[in-house]
Amino acid sequence: MDSRSRGWGFALVLASMLFLVPVSLASAQTDEPRAGTSAEEQDFKVELEPPKAGSLRAKALAALTSLDRAQALTLYSLQPWPTPRTPAAWYKLPEAEQSERVAAFFEKDRRRWCRGHACIEANRVLGRVETSGADRLAVLQAARDALGKVPNFGYACAAEYRHAIAFADQGHRYEILLCYHCGQVKVVVDGKERSGDQSAYEMGDLRTIDAILTRAGVPLAKGADAGDEDE
């Protein structure tokens, strides 16, 4: 690095320090909780409650609770649909037209993503395991925790579902999608009724769930850059 580059580097560091000092002082004088602080530091009390009566989440929990040992409980490994980038020019369009174009664009891309692949809610199925014994108990508990404990907070995070648990009861098929990264759950009944993305407080132990899939030779999902994989 030449002397001129070092001079610019020093100037940038000095400028950033001068900018941060007043910001830090202002933060110290406010009573607002800092972003990223834990619930305990913010005196936030976590409260849990059961799912709302009559909701899909409550129906799925009731069906799961009455599940007979002879009924199949299937664990899936999923690869999330990689959300494509929308054309920048669309953001200059009127809101209604923009929303319509984006919705159609996403729907078309989901169909492309699932073409030739089994999918659950536009997430490719990488493999599945019909659980039994201790594995079944672990998966059953993960599903019960995900459905039965509704926290009094939400997550500012877009759910990407890499796991799902499915079973059938009284003529209905239930699919419980789990996003461990965002702490969210989604319930789908008969492939038609959907709960939307909802917060979950617990979903069992991810390492245990992944180990069940791995022992069965089922591949685990790739990370956030899954869109780069071959189609």
- Listed as own residue / partner, the contacts of 47-56 with beta carbons closer than 8 Å and 24 or more positions apart are 47/151, 47/152, 48/149, 48/150, 48/151, 48/152, 48/201, 49/150, 49/152, 50/148, 50/150, 51/147, 51/148, 51/150, 52/150, 55/195, 56/187, 56/189, 56/193, 56/194, 56/195
CA distance 193 to 186: 11
The yes-or-no verdict on residue 231 having pLDDT over 50 is no
Task: Give the pLDDT of residue 99.
Answer: 93
Q: How far apart are CA 81 and CA 113, in angstroms?
A: 7
> Is pLDDT above 50 for 4?
no
Q: Which of 2-6, 28-32, 65-69, 71-75 has the lowest mean pLDDT?
A: 28-32
Average pLDDT of 208-218?
A: 97
In the numeric block, the tokens 């991810």 are attached to 206
The answer for residues whose C-beta is within 8 angstroms of residue 189's C-beta and 6 or more apart is 56, 59, 60, 172, 173, 174, 175
φ, ψ at 68 (rounded to 5°): -80, 150
* CA trace torsion 9, 11, 16, 21 (10° rounding): 140
Rounded mean pLDDT, 71-78: 97
Q: Please, are residues 187 and 56 in contact by the beta-carbon 8 Å criterion? A: yes
- The reported pLDDT for the residue numbered 44 is 74
> What does the block give as tokens for 219?
């591949």
Percent of the chain scoring above 90 in pLDDT: 61
The pLDDT value recorded for residue 43 is 66
In contact, 51 and 148? CB cutoff 8 Å: yes
pLDDT of 70: 79
The per-residue pLDDT of the chain, averaged, comes to 82
Radius of gyration of the chain (CA): 23
pLDDT of residue 224: 45
- pLDDT tens digits along 128-182: 999 999 999 999 999 999 999 998 887 778 899 999 999 999 999 999 999 999 8
> What whole-number percentage of the chain has pLDDT above 70?
78
Residue 16 above 70 pLDDT?
Answer: no
Mean pLDDT calculated for residue range 102-127: 96
Looking at residue 154, its pLDDT comes to 76
Q: Which pLDDT belongs to residue 46?
A: 84
Q: How far apart are CA 75 and CA 208, in angstroms?
A: 12
